[in-house]
Structure 1
């Protein structure tokens, strides 16, 4: 491998790479210094004048991942040095770096990882077909055949690949599809977090850097959105250098590569990675020196700004008015013909998947709260409640649970509009929307935690279900308002990102030659803070802002997008709520008992004591029912089936599946209700009582629900208050007496049968006397869920018509009609004492609702 790199990257070529990187950094440094002074001016002006948007209703957590790791687990990694697959233990800390260890023991001993992958700029792939499509674009003239494999042979059917346009690719594989889905979700979350851009907390460095990068690319003729604006500033600058350097080296080195197609692709990837590392090392050092130089001048510039702020603002407004007079006549026809007709189409393409994604966030949050309510209602222990709330606190950072939300936004499609406005890829907007969804989920969870904790402190833990529901309703209302505000801001920014570059590209040829003349109108002392190029862009931006604002406002009226109108301002119904935002996150594990579920403790926090543990957001990823595998870290050949190790794993997996099949035959525990409405219904239970009625008296039976007050005493002596009686009459088809599907069916057959009229009265008396014993025998032998119905009927009926003779057969408590002649018994009236009156009513199907 070293020979391949050294043969194509000799000393002369490395010096050429260093010189080209230095030239790009020199150009960028001049632009950055200019934009730094402008960003400082804007920051100080905002601080003096004030301003801001709508106030957030939800609370914001400052450090949500404090004391946490994202997840850990074991997988196989492909080592290019010896072309072997080896088991590696992976830990993803709160920084979202991908740390690979020799084994779990090495991780527990806090040794340094063998490899640390920064996922900025990568793409997470799950199939070799996707990888081949991207590899086909790496070298011109080299196309891999469909179905062919690259220079590696995957050990299992479930690969995971990290692809980068410049850096080295990383290959992993797992044993099951379930593992692959979890790992892919985690890898995507690592990429998403690292691609999120720079921190918005820095009000000077961040806008100065982003504007400098954009201006540098515009000077090269690139106005469209840039996919590689991801990672830390040195990485972004390395991508900026590689944008022009990479194609040049590919055209020079590509034809000189030897070997088969797969070998040439592998060699080119190694050469590209070596070049990228060299460029990254250089940009890191030079950017650090650049920032230090600008920071050294900040105090002096800040003092001058605060002294002359009024004069600088007046000068800027004067020059902007002159530029506006030049630009507006040219922007109006451009807006009328090329912008305004397409704003609604762009907005619709953005709103549909984004609104579905935010709705899914709301649904996932609601389902988690329902699970907690069910646990509280079903009498769950404090430890279990603590586990539920601990998992809820990290819901926004659980990549697997949030995957359904992220998938909705991934359907965003700007086809047709991309060519017209030269939008490179919608991935920039997809990633931004997903980050906003994660922030809103965490804000909702944090607000719920603070409200619940406040309620428990004041009222205690009595009636936990109602307390959770009250907090839930308040938080969801606030989430609806905040998500609407965040989405509208996202739509406006996305429209500007699409339209402004297009307008600048159309207007620059005619306007740029005139801009230097306006520099004469600016005082020399103010020239560092006022740049005519920036004022030109501001004029273009203001010219289209009105149309964008109107389009978003019209969309807010449509209910299908679930947006609040701008005129609707949600008053702060919780004046003391924002005071809770200063409180730290609630440690539910400590409040309700143990630290957390098994597998949640994965390591000791640096600097903490032996009892200070770092909890994990995602459960340990491993084979179902199998302990953590592959601890020996043996070499694994690159074959379709991994010998030695996988045989043992699959045997254990088969054992687990067999045990699972055995348990499937056993009766399952009753499940909890699936919605809040069902939870509320449990508070007012319903008891059903089934009694027969003859066809002649069916018309006289009153139907419907009638309010009734009374006390119903069950068989075990428990008394319940009856509030309503619902009468339901159903036609039950007559079945063969030989059909013994259930004792309840035979009971209905016997009750409705006829006997000779001569001995009717005698048999009635005997049946009434033996009714309790017969019903008791029936309910003991029938385990199909009829116990509650028959017992309730027995406790309420004064008499029941049943046969006098018991059968010797084991499958029924009644005598078979094949031996005894069928009887016909006329149904007897029963009394209803619910309201205190001895009122005779017809026997019908009665539904009793208990308060």
Structure 2
């Protein structure tokens, strides 16, 4: 609210932003092998990935086309995509201490082919797939990685109050329990994140209690443990979902009264906050500056370099991919330059940012990001948090560039003759590339600043908190009427943030002054050569196939009266098909054909002999009565109200 009243600014984006890029789109559909836990067999399954990026799997393509419910749906938030059984066994061994599966021993399961893909999760069920060829595996891997990347990014950025308040509540809770730094399981929607927070505490206790009771062979115990963990995780998610929704409703109901109070007393609130802030600053600043000089400043430059190199290479690859696609289109238009062909090419280019196979080369550049020996020093669990954030930004930049090009080209084509197509395309391309370079610099500089803060702030808070035990007494300086809006913990973190922010800003500014990685100086403002460009962003989406390709698709007579079937037919797919080079027998949407010899695939021997103890999943009665750990979720939820007020 203070931002709304006082205003704020920064570099204005030059590229347009598309609000609903995947409307009436799906990502991909195709078939592959899936391992079924219930009968321990590999079967052909048809997978459909809609714009939600959840993976729906069906008995076959006909079941999907008839509109039947899927056999199952995979929400990929928190999952990792593994391409070998060795990787999987290594992670599996860490889940159940004392029960180790050796790579050379009898495997957990035997793959249908030598090209597996495994979806692994620390708490939820694992999924096993196989492909026919290595190229097919690589392309499905790109698709699955994109599903994980998208669903991990589940907190809506447009919620300027609720999202920061929620993330602050989770972070503050973890800090009170000694967990500082980045957290790999901060992924998915809020109820999923809360469930991950519960499992972080519950799982070790549950493991200590249940592991001694697991009986049977090594693989059997591992499988039973995964079933137990998945069942508990499902129970936890159902409770966090219900509690989160209830608290959000409560917060929304109380929001108008809070806003009225804040707007009425804004001046007094700011004055009171500044008074308390000056007192806390006098206590904290000397200690923070000493810590900054000794433990932070020597590492800022090296960590910034580690972030800049792979991230910038990823953004450069996005630029090159966009340029190559437009050059290919121009070459084709030279040979057969008509608007029908242009419509065909633009229909494909319009979804370039969401084509995981084509974008994979961009994503791979940033995956080399490594913080070397600095991870342990600054409590950074892994670089994956920064890698996925950079990849999301790269996809957004690509879509912004494509959307801006679409709008400029569409505007320029009005009244143009056929022979002018290539020149028009070239002019629009040059304008968009220039805008892309400017926006890319702005986005990367912001990303570098935020990443450095994520690395340093938790470390400084962890080091300073023991020496700042006097902080609670400052609460007495805050009027009771303002105690919901001014939190001592927030002011303490604000003082620490301002201490290190100057050095971070200076480091990024110095990199821009030196034009490293094509970063622009903050003083450079791109001349707005398109004053009416942002008005184009309000135009409806362009359907290139319909506008320039002509002709509506004929509706199958069998589905002529079924509106849902017609809707599925009209839904356009970002990846039309995964083509396997040199494999002419692979059909569209059928990457794995029926398996006549599936029964010949070696399976594990019978698991339980007569008289063996029942499966450990039967012991879940303990779990259903032991949800005291969910009490903290109420604390996190209630923190939403306080944090949102202070924000």
Give the TM-score normalised by the residue count of structure 1.
0.68
Aligned partner of 2:283 in structure 1 is 326
> Is the Cα–Cα contact under 8 Å of residues 17 and 403 in structure 2 kept in the other structure?
yes
Matched, 1:637 2:593: no
**Deviation at residue 474 of structure 1 after TM alignment:** 0.5
**Deviation at residue 204 of structure 1 after TM alignment:** 1.7
Aligned partner of 1:818 in structure 2 is none
**Deviation at residue 636 of structure 1 after TM alignment:** 2.8
C-alpha distance in 2, partners of 1:149/1:469?
60
Aligned partner of 2:6 in structure 1 is 49
Aligned partner of 2:643 in structure 1 is none
Aligned partner of 1:585 in structure 2 is 541
C-alpha distance in 2, partners of 1:535/1:608?
56
Q: Can you list the C-alpha shifts for 1:423-468, whole angstroms capped at 9, x where unaligned?
A: 1110000000000000000000000000001110143443211111
Higher relative contact order (CA 8 A, sep 6+): 2
C-alpha distance in 1, partners of 2:113/2:341?
38
> Is the Cα–Cα contact under 8 Å of residues 67 and 564 in structure 2 kept in the other structure?
no
Deviates more, 1:611-620 or 1:271-280: 611-620
**Deviation at residue 419 of structure 1 after TM alignment:** 1.5
Change (3 A) 1:94 1:335: same
Aligned partner of 2:18 in structure 1 is 61
Aligned partner of 1:298 in structure 2 is 255
Change (3 A) 1:212 1:178: same
> Secondary structure of the residue that 1:411 maps to in structure 2?
coil
Q: Residues 702-721 of structure 1: matches in 2 within 5 Å?
A: none
Matched, 1:465 2:427: no
What is the aligned counterpart of 1:495 among 446, 449, 452? 452
C-alpha distance in 1, partners of 2:228/2:374?
36
C-alpha distance in 1, partners of 2:174/2:563?
42
Change (3 A) 1:362 1:236: same
Aligned partner of 2:295 in structure 1 is 338
Change (3 A) 1:267 1:150: farther
Change (3 A) 1:420 1:254: same
Question: Which one has the bigger helix percentage?
Answer: 2
> Is the Cα–Cα contact under 8 Å of residues 197 and 229 in structure 1 kept in the other structure?
no
What is the aligned counterpart of 1:409 among 363, 366, 370? 366
> Is the Cα–Cα contact under 8 Å of residues 387 and 596 in structure 1 kept in the other structure?
no
Change (3 A) 1:141 1:609: closer
> Secondary structure of the residue that 2:470 maps to in structure 1?
helix
Matched, 1:516 2:478: no
Q: Residues 301-316 of structure 1: matches in 2 within 5 Å?
A: 301-316=258-273
Matched, 1:441 2:364: no
C-alpha distance in 1, partners of 2:211/2:483?
47
> Secondary structure of the residue that 1:369 maps to in structure 2?
helix
What is the aligned counterpart of 2:504 among 540, 544, 548? 548
**Deviation at residue 260 of structure 1 after TM alignment:** 2.2
C-alpha distance in 1, partners of 2:239/2:440?
42
> Secondary structure of the residue that 1:462 maps to in structure 2?
helix
> Is the Cα–Cα contact under 8 Å of residues 158 and 174 in structure 1 kept in the other structure?
yes
C-alpha distance in 2, partners of 1:253/1:478?
58
> Is the Cα–Cα contact under 8 Å of residues 84 and 638 in structure 1 kept in the other structure?
no
Aligned partner of 2:345 in structure 1 is 388
What is the aligned counterpart of 2:572 among 607, 610, 615? 615
C-alpha distance in 1, partners of 2:502/2:531?
34
Aligned partner of 1:163 in structure 2 is 120
Deviates more, 1:422-431 or 1:456-465: 456-465
**Deviation at residue 257 of structure 1 after TM alignment:** 1.5
Aligned partner of 1:649 in structure 2 is none
Aligned partner of 1:664 in structure 2 is none
Change (3 A) 1:606 1:521: farther
> Is the Cα–Cα contact under 8 Å of residues 154 and 173 in structure 1 kept in the other structure?
yes
Matched, 1:82 2:27: no
Change (3 A) 1:264 1:391: same
C-alpha distance in 2, partners of 1:163/1:47?
43
> Is the Cα–Cα contact under 8 Å of residues 67 and 565 in structure 2 kept in the other structure?
no
Change (3 A) 1:133 1:590: same
Matched, 1:154 2:104: no
C-alpha distance in 1, partners of 2:319/2:7?
33
Q: Residues 684-699 of structure 1: matches in 2 within 5 Å?
A: none
C-alpha distance in 2, partners of 1:419/1:258?
37
What is the aligned counterpart of 2:197 among 240, 247, 256? 240
Q: Residues 479-494 of structure 1: matches in 2 within 5 Å?
A: 479-494=436-451
> Secondary structure of the residue that 1:401 maps to in structure 2?
helix
Aligned partner of 1:711 in structure 2 is none
> Is the Cα–Cα contact under 8 Å of residues 75 and 88 in structure 1 kept in the other structure?
yes
Matched, 1:539 2:501: no
C-alpha distance in 1, partners of 2:481/2:415?
60
Change (3 A) 1:612 1:310: farther
Aligned partner of 1:131 in structure 2 is 88
Change (3 A) 1:464 1:546: same
Q: Residues 31-46 of structure 1: matches in 2 within 5 Å?
A: 44-46=1-3
C-alpha distance in 1, partners of 2:221/2:227?
10
What is the aligned counterpart of 1:504 among 461, 481, 504? 461
> Secondary structure of the residue that 1:517 maps to in structure 2?
helix
**Deviation at residue 619 of structure 1 after TM alignment:** 2.2
> Secondary structure of the residue that 1:55 maps to in structure 2?
coil
Matched, 1:530 2:486: yes
> Is the Cα–Cα contact under 8 Å of residues 162 and 171 in structure 1 kept in the other structure?
yes
C-alpha distance in 2, partners of 1:68/1:444?
19
> Is the Cα–Cα contact under 8 Å of residues 421 and 499 in structure 1 kept in the other structure?
yes
> Is the Cα–Cα contact under 8 Å of residues 122 and 191 in structure 1 kept in the other structure?
yes
C-alpha distance in 2, partners of 1:597/1:396?
26
> Secondary structure of the residue that 1:137 maps to in structure 2?
helix
**Deviation at residue 391 of structure 1 after TM alignment:** 0.8
C-alpha distance in 2, partners of 1:260/1:179?
34
**Deviation at residue 380 of structure 1 after TM alignment:** 4.7
Alignment root-mean-square deviation, CA:
2.1
Matched, 1:229 2:186: yes
**Deviation at residue 193 of structure 1 after TM alignment:** 0.2
Aligned partner of 1:105 in structure 2 is 62
Moved over 4 A (4+): 594-598, 603-612, 628-635
C-alpha distance in 2, partners of 1:540/1:583?
45
Q: Can you list the C-alpha shifts for 1:207-241, whole angstroms capped at 9, x where unaligned?
A: 11100000000010101110000001111011000
Deviates more, 1:246-255 or 1:139-148: 139-148
> Is the Cα–Cα contact under 8 Å of residues 71 and 616 in structure 1 kept in the other structure?
yes
Give the TM-score normalised by the residue count of structure 2.
0.89
**Deviation at residue 110 of structure 1 after TM alignment:** 1.3
Structure 1 unmatched runs, 5+: 1-43, 642-851
Aligned partner of 2:246 in structure 1 is 289
Matched, 1:275 2:232: yes
What is the aligned counterpart of 2:161 among 204, 216, 235? 204
Q: Residues 683-762 of structure 1: matches in 2 within 5 Å?
A: none
C-alpha distance in 1, partners of 2:341/2:419?
16
C-alpha distance in 1, partners of 2:390/2:176?
29
> Is the Cα–Cα contact under 8 Å of residues 66 and 565 in structure 2 kept in the other structure?
no
**Deviation at residue 278 of structure 1 after TM alignment:** 1.1
C-alpha distance in 2, partners of 1:640/1:469?
58
Change (3 A) 1:285 1:633: farther
> Secondary structure of the residue that 1:160 maps to in structure 2?
strand
> Is the Cα–Cα contact under 8 Å of residues 390 and 596 in structure 1 kept in the other structure?
no
> Is the Cα–Cα contact under 8 Å of residues 157 and 640 in structure 1 kept in the other structure?
no
Aligned partner of 2:524 in structure 1 is 568
C-alpha distance in 1, partners of 2:107/2:579?
28
> Is the Cα–Cα contact under 8 Å of residues 334 and 422 in structure 2 kept in the other structure?
yes
**Deviation at residue 583 of structure 1 after TM alignment:** 1.0
**Deviation at residue 146 of structure 1 after TM alignment:** 2.8
> Secondary structure of the residue that 2:523 maps to in structure 1?
coil
C-alpha distance in 1, partners of 2:62/2:416?
46
